[in-house]
Structure 1
Amino acid sequence: MSKVVTGLRPGGRSARIQEAVHQAVLALQHEVDAAQLNVPAIAKKAGVTPSTIYRRWGSLSALLADVALAKLQPDALPQDYGSFKADLYAWVEQYFEEYTSCIGLSLLTDIASDPDHREECYSLVNQQLNVIRDRAIQRKESYIENSIIIEMIVSPIIYMILFSKHDLDIAYVHKLLERLCKYQGLLTTTER
């Protein structure tokens, strides 16, 4: 007679604890100043012990980054507007709008504070750009490599959001996009 070994159940106790702790963080972020946000307060609100949080996340910054990363998960695939350039413009505009908001800035700050989550953030952007690239390939269009888009568009946007006091606007984003397209010789700046 063989013994059946069971693993972790998706949605089991571990998932419920994670959800409770994430919800506690989100609630407390609206209720208290950032300086008052700490592991004991989060644990109390979530109905777990502080040691549960430390054992699972290791530190407050790692927990905040994990919550931020969960919020950064896209709700949907990038929309299909019929061409690589239109898809890219729409995605970058949405990305810009999301991260220049107060919530977006807070999420970026939380993720930047925990090195273990930075690569996951990069991966999320890459996954979204893969969808846009794959559509271009299916349409037999030219496209720009993800790494170049990240270097020439995403990176300057994030840098300006985190380290500049200048107010950013969509015109700045369009300027970056036009420079990218011109540099790549892919599309004229008037197409879209």
Structure 2
Amino acid sequence: MPAKSKDTRPGGRSARVRAAVHRATVDLVQEVGADKVTLPAVARRAGVNPSSVYRRWGTTSALLADVAAQRKDEAAPELLGDLRADLGHAAVWTLTDLSRPGGVAFFRAEVAPDVDDRRAGLRECLERVSTRFQAALEAAARRGEETPSLDRVLDRVVAPLYFRVVFSLPETDEEYARGLVAELCDGLPASG
């Protein structure tokens, strides 16, 4: 059973090791692909003892999931001041994040059934993705614009993006992402 991957101390050696291992993991995933990343290779790249990596994460899947969960701290896309533009920007940002080298692997690891708490991984992933769109919806509502529900955005924009990228469907690009947003926004009642 893998050890818990959460730091109990906010700084110090433990935090430095975790940061080095995360950096090494991301670099290796980009260089060789997630399926070829091993804990010994990560330990070598990070300059730490392999036993530390095994003790803390136990499996490559658990390590990938921990890296994915840490990405929740990334900043949300910049708001542009218009619902369609803001949602389009968030959709493209989501597509870019998921399509980057290792993006699908990190997503799969975060929601994999062999990770200690799969439900927590699913919740964190959904929360991270939702935050990108929620800010745009809240800003538009403050401006008095008609907005769809977050669930509708997840169903009509986010789910198709994830589906198409995970299954490597062609023509999943910025134009496709913005088209999903346009279809969603075109279905909204006109503001009066």
Corresponding residue for residue 79 of structure 1 = 78
1:137 aligned to 133, 138, 141, which one? 141
Determine if contact 1:136/1:143 at 8 Å carries over to the other structure.
yes
Partner SS for 1:141:
coil
Corresponding residue for residue 175 of structure 1 = 179
Q: Given the superposition, is the C-alpha separation of residues 155 and 86 from structure 1 closer, same or farther in structure 2, using an over 3 Å criterion?
A: same
Determine if contact 1:105/1:162 at 8 Å carries over to the other structure.
yes
Corresponding residue for residue 120 of structure 1 = 124
Any residues of structure 2 matched to 1:51-130 within 5 Å, and which?
51-71=51-71, 73-74=73-74, 76-113=75-112, 114=115, 115=118, 116-130=120-134
Any residues of structure 2 matched to 1:19-34 within 5 Å, and which?
19-30=19-30, 32=32, 34=34
1:128 Cα offset (Å):
2.0
CA distance in 2: counterparts of 1:180 and 1:100, whole angstroms: 22
1:163 aligned to 150, 164, 167, which one? 167
Residues 42-89 of structure 1 show CA distances to partners (whole Å, capped at 9, x for unaligned) of 223334343432332232101012223434643x33322222222112
Taking structure 1 as the reference length, the TM-score comes to: 0.75
CA distance in 2: counterparts of 1:126 and 1:50, whole angstroms: 36
Q: Determine which structure has more spread, i.e. the larger CA radius of gyration.
A: 1
1:36 Cα offset (Å):
4.1
Q: Given the superposition, is the C-alpha separation of residues 186 and 56 from structure 1 closer, same or farther in structure 2, using an over 3 Å criterion?
A: farther
In structure 1, the gaps of 5 or more residues are: 1-7, 188-192
Corresponding residue for residue 3 of structure 1 = none
Residues 97-144 of structure 1 show CA distances to partners (whole Å, capped at 9, x for unaligned) of 333344534443443545353321211111222211221232232212
In structure 2, the gaps of 5 or more residues are: 1-7
1:148 matched to 2:152:
yes
Determine if contact 2:34/2:105 at 8 Å carries over to the other structure.
no
1:149 Cα offset (Å):
0.4
Higher relative contact order (CA 8 A, sep 6+): 2
CA distance in 2: counterparts of 1:79 and 1:180, whole angstroms: 20
Partner SS for 1:85:
helix
CA distance in 2: counterparts of 1:65 and 1:165, whole angstroms: 24
Q: Given the superposition, is the C-alpha separation of residues 169 and 33 from structure 1 closer, same or farther in structure 2, using an over 3 Å criterion?
A: closer
